[in-house]
Amino acid sequence: MRTRLIVLGLVAVAGIVAALALAPTYAPSFPSPFSSPARPSPNVYVVMGQSSCTAHQSNFNCTLVLSTSAGQINASDIASVKINGTAAQISGLTASQDSISVNAGISIVAIKGGINDVSNVPPVTIGEVVVYLKDGTTVSATLPGQYAE
């Protein structure tokens, strides 16, 4: 009886080992939920002194000036932009010889209620901006938000 249990145990262990060895071959591969799909660009960077964000009424707009340490950057290199985790509408791309200016914005959700003489625009104080490039890399910056009357 004891020998039979040992043999059954060995067969079970061998089956598990075989299943684990063959699993990568037959199982579909899923991306890890812990890996980030965003890879920072090794060549493109944000020119901080020329980049900014502005809040006005129900809009939050950011302008990022991007430059490159190697090669060139063109308007066609920009895939999309997110501001504070929200997909932004790109309103303009301006290219110069060695940089590109990306203008994008999001709508600010109005706060309901409050005192009548106080603005109902949420206090957006920073812009976490991520520019997604078509090569699969990203460029990001945290910019202070200024208010425009």
Q: Give one DSSP letter per residue of 22-58, joined into a string.
A: HHHHHSPP---TTS-S-EE-SSEEE-GGG-EEEEETT
Select, from the ranges 57-61, 126-130, 144-148, the one with the highest average predicted confidence (pLDDT).
126-130
Judgement on whether residues 86 and 132 belong to the same structural domain of the protein: yes
Of the listed ranges 20-24, 30-34, 54-58, the one predicted with least confidence: 30-34
- Please say whether the dihedral angle defined by the alpha carbons of residues 90, 38, 42 and 135, taken in this order, is positive or negative: negative
Mean pLDDT in residue range 46-69: 93
Are 4 and 25 in the same domain? yes
If asked whether residues 25 and 63 sit together in one domain, one would say no
> Are residues 51 and 77 located together in one domain of the fold?
yes
Q: Which domain holds residue 133?
A: 39-111+119-147
Looking at the fold, whether 20 and 58 belong to one and the same domain comes out as no
User: Which residue matches tokens 């059954």?
Assistant: 8
What is the average per-residue pLDDT within 1-16? 51
> 99 and 66, same structural domain?
yes
Alpha helices for the chain (secondary structure H): 2-26
Q: Mean pLDDT lowest for which of 14-23, 58-67, 83-92, 110-119?
A: 14-23
* 82 and 20 together in one domain: no
Q: Residue 72 corresponds to which amino acid?
A: Q
Higher pLDDT: 61 or 115? It is: 61
Residue 20 CB-density burial (10 A; 0-12 exposed, 13-18 middle, 19+ buried): exposed
Q: At residue 14, does pLDDT exceed 60?
A: no
Do both 128 and 107 map to the same domain? yes
Contact 97, 104 (CB under 8 A): no
Do both 85 and 102 map to the same domain? yes
Total number of domains in the chain: 2
Residue of 4 and 87 predicted with greater confidence: 87
Do residues 22 and 46 both lie within one domain?
no
Instruction: Please indicate, yes or no, whether residues 44 and 26 belong to a single structural domain of this protein.
Output: no
Q: What is the pLDDT of residues 79-134, one digit of tens each?
A: 999 999 999 999 999 988 889 999 999 998 754 545 555 555 556 778 999 999 99
CATH number for the domain that contains residue 101: 2.60.40
The pLDDT of residue 1: 60
Residue 61: other Cβ atoms inside 10 A: 20
pTM for the model: 0.67
Q: 53 and 6: one domain?
A: no
